[in-house]
Amino acid sequence: MPLLKVLGVTVYYGDFKALGGVSFDVERGEILSIIGPNGSGKTTLLRAIDGILRPRLGAVYLDGREIAGMERREIARIIGYSPQRVDVQSYVTVLDFVLTGRRPYASWDYSESDYRKAVEALRAVNASHLAARRLDQLSGGEFRRVVIARALAGEPDVLLLDEPTNDLDPKHQVEILSAIRRLASGRGVAVVMCLHDLTHAYRYSDKILAMKDGSVYAFGRPEDVMREDLLREVYGVSLKVL
């Protein structure tokens, strides 16, 4: 049974159909990258998987259980989500922010183990030195890594990352993608990430899902999806990755 199963997921914003019957599976330890132009439904798909948006048709299953019947806290123990945009209170410290990723496990207060997990998550994205810094004192790239650390702090089985390399310089892009690779291979985390950078998507993914106008245009191994003819149809311009 796949860890994550997305079956016929259809999402509307009012009368506008943002996703039309999207289906795919992700196994433990696998990295799936979602590609596709702006507005093709990538973020909507991540939000539907996380249960923030409810599909009008179709369903999302975690380990065979439909998430529609699960409580928010339970979903949050399984899925770690790093959104593209985050509203934060600027006076919060990095460590306190990353600790909020432990909320699904904490009762009254955070335990020593919660602190340890938050510190480990910061280490995983090479951001330990930022722990005491305030959020408004971070660069864009530092903030991106801290948001990913918060998603990691809950030790999720499924990691959803919306443009994890945004704001990062090339060195940090490779570092973060390598860290994601280690989490997938080492801990068996199933990763679903949206990526604009097609070369990264090609190099770091086991499977690629190409979205166009809210539907799956292609799904398969990177070498099968990253073909020039197919990318031209998806993006409407000539692109060469292979």
Residues that bind ligand ADP (CB under 6 A): 13, 16, 18, 36, 38-44
C-beta of 42: minimal distance to ligand ADP in Å?
4
Q: Locate tokens 């048709």: which residue?
A: 57
Closer of 1 and 237 to ligand ADP (Cβ): 237
C-beta of 162: minimal distance to ligand ADP in Å?
7
Nearest to 163 by CA among 155, 154, 151, 153: 151
List residues bridging with 207 in a β-sheet: 32
Closer of 42 and 144 to ligand ADP (Cβ): 42
- What angle separates helix 170-187 from helix 140-153, to the nearest 10 degrees? 10
Nearest to 224 by CA among 239, 209, 204: 209
Give me the DSSP letters along 171-202: HHHHHHHHHHHHHHHHH--EEEEE-S-HHHHH
Residue type, 54: R
Closer of 18 and 146 to ligand ADP (Cβ): 18
Closer of 122 and 208 to ligand ADP (Cβ): 208
C-beta of 109: minimal distance to ligand ADP in Å?
35
Bridge-based pairing of strands 190-194 and 158-162 is parallel
C-beta of 182: minimal distance to ligand ADP in Å?
26
Separation CA 27–CA 190 (nearest Å): 6
130: DSSP letter: G
Closer of 177 and 194 to ligand ADP (Cβ): 194
Bridge-based pairing of strands 190-194 and 31-35 is parallel
C-beta of 242: minimal distance to ligand ADP in Å?
23
Closer of 114 and 163 to ligand ADP (Cβ): 163
C-beta of 155: minimal distance to ligand ADP in Å?
26
